[in-house]
């Protein structure tokens, strides 16, 4: 699996706000949000550094993908992960092209990946 990443300076809340804005500027919304650290603490009493998963979706890309192949719902939304590292917040986004094998889907997945890559790179 491959993706895009960038180490960003700031605290988790401010970097998350910047990530959400960058995604929005590229037509993505956040459909899901999982605070992995809080969930693991609540469920199994494990302490870990902050880790959040944002499920990003661009409705235009999603609709085209679902029209071409309804099974594309299995890999939606695209995960964008924020994790606390010793020297900043690591922001990672999945490359949708790494999730598809169909030649028909590769072009659309590349377009979506290019937008996600840009959203991460400008942080």
Paired with 90 in beta bridges are 7, 83
Q: Please write the tens of the pLDDT for every residue from 90-121.
A: 999 999 999 998 888 999 999 999 999 999 99
Q: Please write the tens of the pLDDT for every residue from 20-74.
A: 999 999 999 999 999 999 999 999 999 999 999 999 999 999 999 999 999 999 9
- Does residue 1 surpass a pLDDT of 80? no
Distance in angstroms (rounded) separating the CA atoms of residues 110 and 107: 5
CATH class of the structural domain 3-121: alpha beta
pLDDT at 20: 98
Q: Where are the domains of the chain?
A: 3-121
pLDDT at 16: 98
pTM above 0.85, yes or no: yes
Q: Containing H/E element for 81?
A: strand 78-85
Q: Please write the tens of the pLDDT for every residue from 59-70.
A: 999 999 999 999
4 phi, psi to nearest 5 deg: -125, 145
């Amino acid at each position: 699996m491959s993706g895009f990443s960038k180490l960003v300076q700031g605290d988790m809340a401010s970097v998350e706000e910047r990530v959400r804005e960058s995604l929005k500027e590229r037509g993505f919304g956040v459909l899901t949000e999982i605070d992995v650290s809080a969930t693991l603490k609540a469920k199994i009493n494990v302490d870990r550094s902050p880790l959040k998963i944002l499920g990003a979706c661009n409705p235009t890309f999603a609709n085209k993908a679902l029209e071409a192949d309804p099974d594309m719902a299995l890999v939606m939304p695209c995960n964008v992960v924020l994790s606390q590292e010793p020297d900043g917040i690591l922001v990672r986004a999945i490359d949708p092209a790494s999730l598809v094998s169909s030649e028909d889907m590769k072009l659309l997945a590349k377009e979506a990946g290019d937008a996600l890559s840009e959203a991460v790179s400008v942080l």
